[in-house]
Structure 1
């Protein structure tokens, strides 16, 4: 995923003439944007930077690899696994993060079961 470091953002803002800015990061699981049309955008595994501008204005920069659109108020239950679990399964099996996430969803968060599921699928694909 594209990551924008706070230091790089500060340099870019300085080039634009904004010198006295304070930049913080937030460790977030997801960011939800509620739109006026009754829909929500759900950004999963985001990087959130908060920029405190001179004069008191606040700017937020959010980058995320996964975005889902849904009707407002239809929150889905939190998965029984973390992004670290997804990365672990992907690293152990050599599959994409998305494929690892799907396997973990099918395995209801059980890392070992997700890895076995992926390996079984690989063997079945090789045999066909």
Structure 2
């Protein structure tokens, strides 16, 4: 279909995609987490591409994930205690003002409430979800 030679010129491929209305964008992702009912797939430094084909966005993740069980109701303190550590010594995750602002804006709450939710959940998406259900 695309000719012989074992592959296609990347420039030609991009030109064809543009003609078909497909826009491909590299995303500089630090971490991607896919949560299923039973586990989490965590991709660190994955290659992520967003393909926009006539308004329909598709994401492609290339990398090797770490798999961890998804514990319902498990908090960072409980995980530290289970690992034999001292939760008083374990530091809470640091969140930037930008992270706090994102959560506050998405959940429509004050920055103080957003920071509390971030510290409690340890995750931006989980903090937004928690605040939206309150």
TM range (shorter): 0.3 to 0.5
Largest Rg, 1 or 2? 2
TM, length-normalised to structure 1: 0.41
Give the structure, 1 or 2, with the largest relative contact order (CA under 8 Å, sep 6 or more).
Answer: 1
